[in-house]
A and B are shown apart, each in its own frame.
Chain A
């Protein structure tokens, strides 16, 4: 049976008059890589801090493995946190930082040294145990923070935008490493991020936050392919919505619809071809953005509204692509990729 690692029920938090978290219900399973995705100020970090015990909730309950921990102090909860700016103790060596939690648990000195070294090896930092945090690079500090939080094998690991301060290359590398590490240790990861790519890449499931509420919970594919609200459609992936008269004319129904840019083919208007039973619309190319591996077309539809289409550069080069600007095109996509987006409640 799959247990619930975390259960949040109508969790709320107000700071003075501002309501940072306005009633959140979530269930996170054991061993899951769960992301909380949202723009800054959407309440995701506050929820994380309440799970860790740093902020007392204004209302609602928090259960960890079936136990109500709403009123417990951080040191009474079996969760560890990886902080955004790492929060390593500057007066301790790397090894002492990693062994800190074990020392508090009164693990014998030999044991905790061995486990700290193992944890450092897990994050590929062997041999750096005697250094101070200030002597390490950002990526290395990040790994120390990870080793410190994982060494005593908590039930849940909370990660607060842990990759935010790293440069792009390192971030992509760490995303893969984190995911592998999570699979190896089998600990529940709750990962806070404002980066949709990060969330889509790493997560088993994602909760999209907006204004202190959860807009949608689902697998990356569900979130991406079938956004439940206009906000989710806009925040995850490129906003590509058809509404009002444009929707009526193109889709043939009233409402709001989302079509992901990579599902749309761009054809010259005068050229035949394409799929006969595809949905489509005609328009003028307003802008062409050459991205190297792909090209993004911004097309103003005759029916009104604007759609973005993304084409892999299979045969085209930057010169060919530039010639498209201002030309008339026909957009085509499979009818099943037209997704109705329910209006926000």
Chain B
């Protein structure tokens, strides 16, 4: 396990972040027997998984295995797709998120999301970050909003780069900066869970390293779920890993264990590069 926390020992940030003990954590999201259908296609089959608070969980698996679909179920982003149907139980802090009483808007404020391609709005950097707090009414006045924006940008590890040009359009930043802006934007609404759908796939290695570093920092405050294609990335940033294959959750466990000693032969095949 220690191998996976190598980064913690880097002197770049404060120590307390890494001191979380996996065993002591609560379950944040619990999924039981989740089925997802796209029209007639059965995309997710019988997936049950408990995602922990203050932990980075990685979803890995070959393309089309359903990991992104499952991720999008967790904040009901699939609602925006007409033909998509979700069955089974998904609970956030013990509350069914597919309950009739749930407004997806309220849910998504608690379960934020960062997308594959950086998608800053065609607005200023400031407005990009302030958008979420504004719609959720998190700030009473301009000063408070300024504070929230600054905090979010700092947490997104991009404050120093943009603090002098908050009025510049968010689309003018580089790819890595854009993605960190999007993370800052997601963080600004004070979510409890942060879902990331292949957040580094459109970035170059340097930007990827910066974002990965950021993800590790975010673990202190949130439950982070990350879908990734890169097994190295999963190994670098996550504490827990779930391996999906053909819509099934094949194996879920400690990242170190999945990568060093997988139980299921399919997991082993994937990790050693035979399927994927």
Q: Does A associate with B in a complex? A: no
